Amino acid sequence: MTLPNTPVPSDLPQSSAALAEPTEKVTARWVTGLVLVNVGINAAFFGPINVFIGQQAISIDAPSKEAILSLVTACGAAVSLVANPFFGALSDRTTSRFGRRAPWVLAGAVLATAALLAMSVSGAVALMVLFWCLVQLGANAAYAAITAAVPDRVPVAQRGGVGGLAAMGQTLGILTGAVFGAVVSGNFMVGYWLCAAALLLSVLPYLFHRNDPALPTSELPAFRLRSFLSGFYISPVKYPDFAWAWLTRFLVNVGNQLTIVYLLFFLRDIIGHGDPAAGVLVLTGIYAVMVMVTAVLAGPWSDRVGRRKPFVIGSSATIAMAGLIMAFFPVWPGALAGAAVLGIGFGAYLAVDFALLTQVLPFAVSRGKDMGVINVANSLPQVVAPGLALLAVTEWGGYDVLFLLAAVIGMLGAVFVVMIRGVD
């Protein structure tokens, strides 16, 4: 049993295809465009976050590099929490002849590209903060739109496979950012240029084959500011499946972030690895490969059997198991096993849970805004997890407590999935 988006009555004119529940399978060309947008956005996010902002901070004020990095990334994270649902809501109301989502994919990519280029020549912390916030603003506008395009155009029976490929694109983007960091040899200016080029080029295939029907003005509700703002609150009483899906995604992402946030320090201080940075690269590589493999396998599998919840429960439990491995086997082989298990669980989770989420959206007319609210469950853990990790390591008992906490939180995500009633 599934609970699709609120359908559009069949007697509406053909121009209302923008709001109709999709029934025709999307083409491989369209899916390729979707994947490439995810690659470009995540390269633009994680190249700077993992490498270039830190290098730039060192060039500005080496003794304060940690504080600069924290300030810049925290401000950007705050912008992302607001920008994603906001631009999703704006795309819902867009009546351009080019469609609802494509204009925001293009505009967001152009803004983020310009901001990355400006950031490459920023010699002051204030400018770094300003331009990184603009990067987040633009990239989140594009991400909100491309995410909403999936429930817009992909039929329910195909969403697991498409979700798996989108997850693969996200992971490839993260790896692309890491590759850029490795090849520029400390030249962060060139690194920003590479990220900017990757983002701008990545959106072109989607824009040329967007399959994005225009929303007729007659189907657009009158704009009222109070209703627009109140729409970001989705009542858990009226829409409990949406609320449970949001909560489970938030918990699983917190558990995942807790497991990886202090890997460098864990390898150095607990395992005693001779080269902790190289160790992180190895673990990240194992994790990324397993994410991509299980994402592209689990998504189509869930489509074939027509069920989502068993996959989400199993993958959430697998993520929790990774935390237990790291807690009870704090040695290098344990870390290798933990990274592999975490990647197996998270890849399957990303693919199938994404498909599940698209099936609990309250209304077809607000898919962009609702997916933006869901995306907050991806961004907020990046703010919450570092604080929890600091408390676990410094106040609550150390790294074994950190990984046990990650396991417990991840397992709660698995438990609460059973509360979703409208999707099998």
Q: What is the pLDDT of residues 123-138, one digit of tens each?
A: 999 999 999 999 999 9
Using alpha carbons, list the distances in angstroms from residue 149 to 33, 76, 416: 11, 24, 27
DSSP one-letter string for 303-331? HHHT--HHHHHHHHHHHHHHHHHHHH--S
Distances (CA, A) of 264 to 35, 45, 160, 258, 404: 30, 20, 33, 13, 18
The DSSP code for 335 is: H
Cβ-contact 43, 201 below 8 angstroms: no
pLDDT at 40: 96
- Round to whole Å and give the CA distance between 143 and 104: 9
The domain ranges of the chain are: 21-216, 231-424
pLDDT for residue 16 = 64
The whole-number pLDDT of residue 335 equals 93
DSSP assignment, residue 191?
A: H
Cα-flanking dihedrals φ and ψ of residue 128, to 5°?
-60, -45
The C-alpha atoms of residue 55 and residue 66 are separated, in whole angstroms, by 11
Q: Are 142 and 375 in contact (CB under 8 A)?
A: no
> Which tokens go with 190?
């060139």
At residue 301, the pLDDT reads: 92
Nearest of 356, 395, 136 to residue 246 by alpha carbon = 356
**If you search the block for the tokens 């983002």, which residue do you land on?**
199
Mention every residue, 6+ apart, whose C-beta is less than 8 A from residue 209: 27, 29, 30, 33
Q: How many CA atoms lie within 13 A of 288 on its CB side?
A: 16
Tokens linked to 149: 């395009």
User: CA-to-CA distance for 14 and 24, rounded, in angstroms?
Assistant: 15
**C-alpha span between 241 and 424 (Å, rounded):** 12
Q: Do domains 21-216 and 231-424 have the same CATH topology?
A: yes
- Rounded to a whole number of angstroms, the distance between the first and last alpha carbons of the chain is 6
Is the domain spanning 231-424 CATH 1.20.1250.20? The answer is yes
302 three-class SS = helix
pLDDT along the chain (424 residues), means of 10: 39 57 91 96 88 87 82 87 92 90 96 97 94 96 93 90 91 86 85 96 94 84 77 86 92 87 81 82 87 91 90 91 93 94 91 88 84 85 81 87 92 88 83
Nearest Cα residue to 241 out of 189, 308, 293, 290? 308
361: helix, strand or coil: coil
pLDDT, one tens digit per residue, over 313-346 is 999 999 999 999 999 999 999 999 999 999 999 8
Alpha-carbon torsion (166, 131, 190, 286), positive or negative: negative
- For residue 199, what are the CA distances in angstroms to 44, 54, 105, 121, 259? 6, 20, 11, 18, 29
What pLDDT, on a 0 to 100 scale, did the predictor assign at position 10? 38
Nearest to 122 by CA among 76, 180, 60: 60
The residue whose two tokens read 């995500």 is 413
Contact call for residues 255 and 406 (beta carbons, < 8 A): yes
Q: How many CA atoms lie within 13 A of 266 on its CB side?
A: 30
* CATH number, domain 21-216: 1.20.1250.20
